[in-house]
A and B are shown apart, each in its own frame.
Chain A
Amino acid sequence: MKIIACIKQVPDSEAKIKAEGGQVSWGESPLVINPFDEYAVEGALQQKEAQGGTVTALCIGPESAKEALKHALAMGADDAILISDAALTALDTQGAARVLAAAINKIGGVDMVVFGRQTLDDGSGITAAQTARVLGWPMLGLAGQIKVDAGSVEVSRVIEEGRQNVKAKLPAVISVVQSIGEPRYPSFMGIRKASKAEIPIWSLNDIGLSAPAQIVSRVELITPPSRDVTCEIITGESPAEIAEVLADKILAEKVL
């Protein structure tokens, strides 16, 4: 089975994000593989172990995003491809889906594409579905379990109402949730392989695409105003007395 794990590089979850000159800034914080995408790599590796085959990690991003791909390699992915192009600066989810789909078609013979449920930065959670749409493949979202059997795939979707089992013919696009299993640690063998890996970079030209038009764009980016909260503890002899003081204060503050 030929499996693709789509990953993204995002600022670390502990980064302090703010708007600076209309741009997102995360200061000195490191960039890491999107935590949800570690589950995608895990899910892809589980299928490789169950069915045989290969896992290729695929990422759109600047040169620095190779680090995220190396993490996937260290976890056990067989190879990695970075799609990087100066023309890809303003990319919305639909644009990303077109780029990923073109790359997946170029790779060829792919049976399954696995995504994390969403990214930690933009967090729209729709790139997987849009990629499926561009490819014309079925989309099985929020999978907590994946089972492949003779050319078809059955997943158990983790949804608000409970579990829902759905089945589709391969090739298919799947997004996974945490119940797929804790992402494995990189192995030392994987680390050695990843640190030496020469990761190919594909440009838009390589995948035969011109820069997709941006359909969704940010109108404005602002840092949320900091909340200035003061806390006052009201004390009193009895609950009734405390309630009375509280009611007076609420009225004085014109909250009611």
Chain B
Amino acid sequence: MDFSLSPEHQMAQKMVRDFAQKEIGPVIKEYDRRQEPIPFALKRMGELGILGLCFPVRYGGQGMDYLALGLACEELEAVDTSLRVAMSVHTGLCSMNLFQWGTEEQKQKFLIPLAKGEKIGCGAFTEPGMGSDVAAMRTSAKRDGDFYILNGEKMWISLASKADLVLVTVKTNPSARKPSDGLSTFIVDLNTPGVTRGDIHGKLGVRAGATGWINFQDVKVPAANRLGEEGEGFKITMSGFDHGRYTVASGATGIIRACLEASVKYAKTRQTFGKPIAEYQLIQEKIAKMAQEYEIARLLYYQVGWMKNQGKRCTRETSYAKKFATEASFSAANEAIQIHGAYGYSDEYDVERYLRNARGAMIYEGSSEIQTLIQAGYALGERSDKPLRCELPAYDEKVWQS
């Protein structure tokens, strides 16, 4: 078993780290305070190839593997969660799902500009009245000749106001015996007449990230924009979450690392009762826990990256990684604030932002409770992975780079 990262992975990791630290680090506090997205962040991530790093070159990607995607997310979120959120929705939910389920024509038309970062994508599943209960969604699409007519509203959608395209799951058959069989997924140009959207302010964290709502009123979508078959929307949505949750897990790992690094640095310099607080066992306990949880979180997401590269389904392993890393990141940020004392409670230091940013990830892309149910389902033998009509292609260096 080889746990080491290849030189390629290490160089990619360093490149993303340098970008995030040099270009985002110096301005993040200001934008987070103003609750505004950093205007150049998405553009730069597109130009540098970060948004499309795990797709084959022929689809506009950078030809790197799925582990590199996780490594990039860790580096991005170690600086700010808003950067990783872009990876979760643009790359994970939208582009990777198109890559998995799209027809060749759809990949040519939509995936290439997304992978190149020329267009921004997002994923819309949650509604004002439904989140975990995906099959209960009310946004609908009715077939009308070569088109579908979409009506309804999606809420808590990251990049809603910034994206050009949305991957949206809606109800196409309200009388399906199993409600989850009545869903279908579409790729919709957000400049289509009938689409309105806006931002939601007042979030606890990820304040430099745009989160909003999208309303569809008699929006005419070509039938050619349907991803997969009619009725496959639930499966497609769940596949998207496998990809999105992987980015959330690897990103949250970055928060744990950031908390650990900040705490070690502070504990070595801050003196109390005549010596650095790092010399006190109560502080050491907190730091040791962060270090241990960073290691666990990292190994869990590396495993998912490896499984994705092998073309193995990893819903269960992704769930472990996502739940563990997001909860550990919140706890690490909480302890980091404690170590920093009053300074940690103010935005003079970064750790309070880490705490606010970490909190949301225990809710979005499958709450901790939903992850627990998934894990229990597998453990009790009540849940198993059935083959999908379209699986995420296993990483093949030759195919990816040709």
Contacts and interface: CB of A to CB of B under 8 A. Distances in A.
Q: Do A and B come from one complex?
A: yes
Interface in B63-81: 63-64
A195 B7 contact: yes
Interface string B305-326: 0000000000000000000000
Contact of B8 (A71, A185, A187, A192): A192
Given A188-B62, A192-B64, A70 B11 contact: yes
Nearest to A71: B11
B193 to A, nearest CB: 38
B281 interface: no
Given A70-B7, A74-B11, A192-B401, A187 B63 contact: no
A194 B18 CA distance: 18
A189 B12 CA distance: 10
A239 B12 CA distance: 58
Nearest to A183: B18
Interface string B48-74: 110001000000001110000000000
Contact of A188 (B7, B18, B64): B64
A7 to B, nearest CB: 16
Contacts of A194: 7, 11
B6 A188 contact: no
A227 to B, nearest CB: 18
B18 A185 contact: yes
Contacts of A138: none
Contacts of A195: 6-8, 11
The interface size bin for chain B is 10 to 19
A208 to B, nearest CB: 32
B388 interface: no
Counting chain A CB atoms within 10 Å of each CB, which of B8, B11, B62, B63 scores highest? B11
A191 B11 contact: yes
Contacts of B204: none
Contacts of B19: 185
A212 interface: no
A188 B7 CA distance: 12
Given A70-B7, A185-B48, A187-B48, A192 B18 contact: no
22 contacts: A70-B7, A71-B11, A74-B11, A74-B15, A185-B15, A185-B19, A185-B48, A186-B11, A186-B15, A187-B49, A187-B62, A188-B49, A189-B49, A191-B8, A191-B11, A192-B62, A192-B63, A194-B7, A194-B11, A195-B6, A195-B7, A195-B8
Interface of B: 6-8, 11-12, 14-15, 18-19, 48-49, 53, 62-64, 401
